[in-house]
Amino acid sequence: MLSRALEVAGRLANDATDVITATAGRGAHPDVADSPFDWVTDTDRILERHTRRVLTAEFPGIPVVGGEFGADTGADSAAYRWVVDPVDGTANYVAGVPWCAYSLALVDASGPVVGVVADPYRAQIYAAARGRGTRANGKPVKLVDRDRITGSIVCTELARKGPWPGMGSFIERAAEARAGVRVLGSAALSIAQVALGHAIAAVLHSYHEWDVAGSVALAIEAGAVVLDRRGSDSPLPTDGLLVAAPSAAEEVLSWWQETERGIRAS
C-alpha cells in the first residue's frame, strides 16, 4: 500500500505543479474569505476536486479531508484518511510570488504515513513514507544536525488574522540568539525547509492539518523532531507545533514558551 500511495500521490503532485505554474499570478480570480491572509481561488477548487476523484478511484473506502471541501463522511473514525491542501500559500500564488505548495498526506492514528509536497517554482517534488526516508525528486534527503543556532534560519507563519500572540517577542528572542526568522507564507514549505536542512526549526502557532501533514512526514523521515507547545513528542499536535533539528529543538521551544508565559503574565 505504501508504494502505491507514494506513486499516486507523486502523480497528483506533478499534476498540481503543472496547474500552479501555468496559472499563478495570471488572471487568478480569488474569493476573499474571512481573513485578508486567507484566499480561495478556482485553482484551489479544481486541484482538490481532481485529487478527490483520483484518490476515490484508486483507494475506495479511504476518506479525504481537504482545505476547500472539508471532510468525507467517516473521516474522523477511519483507520486511514487522505489530507490535501491544493494550494498552500494562496496569497503568494495570487500575487505571483514564487512560494506556494501542493500538499498531500495519508494519515493514520499515529500520524502521517505518506507525505508528498510539490514545490512548483523550484520544480521539486518532496516525498516520504513511514520507515522509508525522505526524497527530493527521487534523491534521498537526510537532515544533518547542526550544533549551533547562531546564523541559522527559523521559519514561522502568521496566524489566520495576522501575527500570533507573542510573535514579536519570539522574533526578538531569536535575534538575541543571532538567528533569523522568516515568514514566507506557506506552512508546508516552512516545515519542508527543516527537512531539507535550509532552516533549523519551524514554529507554527496555529494551522490546519491539511497545511502541515505532508511536510511533517518529510521532516520526521529526514530526522527532525516534532513537538507540541509543551515539548511533548506529537506527530500532529492540535494546537501548534515545533519542527526542528534535534540539537535546536529545546532552545527554540524555550523561546516559544517564554513568549507565552509573558503573555499570560501581562
CA distance 61 to 58: 10
Across residues 195-205, what is the average pLDDT? 97
Instruction: Decide if 112 contacts 236 (C-beta within 8 A).
Output: yes
pLDDT band at 265 (very low <50, low <70, confident <90, very high): low
Task: Tell me how far the alpha carbon of residue 47 is from its chain's centroid.
Answer: 17
Cell triple for residue 94? 495570487
Least confident of 46-50, 91-95, 166-170: 91-95
Chain segment 116-149, per-residue pLDDT in tens = 999 999 999 999 999 999 999 999 999 988 778 9
What percent of the chain is modeled with pLDDT above 70?
93
Binding residues: 85, 88, 211
Q: pTM value?
A: 0.92
154 pLDDT higher than 80 = yes
Regarding predicted confidence, which is higher, 64 or 36? 64
Q: Which CATH architecture has domain 1-141?
A: 2-Layer Sandwich (3.30)
> What distance in Å separates the CA atoms of residue 174 and residue 154, rounded to the nearest whole number?
8
CA distance 215 to 53: 22
pLDDT at residue 251, rounded to an integer? 96
pLDDT at 89 over 70: yes
Please report, for the chain, the start and end positions of each structural domain, with discontinuous segments joined by +: 1-141, 153-264
- Place 99 in a pLDDT band, splitting at 50, 70 and 90: very high
Return phi, psi of residue 138, to 5°: 90, -10
pLDDT for the residue 262: 72
User: Where residue 163 falls among pLDDT bands split at 50, 70, 90?
Assistant: very high
Mean pLDDT calculated for residue range 175-186 = 97
Mean pLDDT of 161-185: 95
Cα 161 from Cα 155, distance rounded (Å): 18
C-alpha cell at 38: 486567507
- For the chain, first and last CA: distance in Å? 51
Name the burial class of residue 159, with classes exposed (0-12), middle (13-18) and buried (19+) by CB atoms within 10 angstroms of its CB: middle
What are the pLDDT digits (tens) for 74-83? 999 999 999 9
**In which band, very low, low, confident or very high, does the pLDDT at 96 lie, cut at 50, 70 and 90?**
confident
Range from 87-91, 94-98, 198-202, 234-238 that averages highest in pLDDT? 198-202
pLDDT of residue 84 exceeding 60:
yes
Closest listed residue to residue 246, CA positions, set 229, 233, 258:
233
Single-letter residue type at 151: G
* Residue set of the binding site for Mg(2+): 85, 88, 211
Residue at 244: amino acid letter: A
CA 95 → CA 28, 30, 68, 91, 98, distances in Å? 9, 10, 20, 6, 9
Span 11-41, pLDDT tens digits: 999 999 999 999 887 655 555 555 544 556 7
Mean pLDDT of the chain: 92
At 59 the pLDDT is 98
Mean pLDDT of 35-62: 85
Q: Give CATH for domain 153-264.
A: 3.40.190.80
At residue 147, the pLDDT reads: 74
Strand partners for 139: 136
Mean pLDDT across 178-186:
97
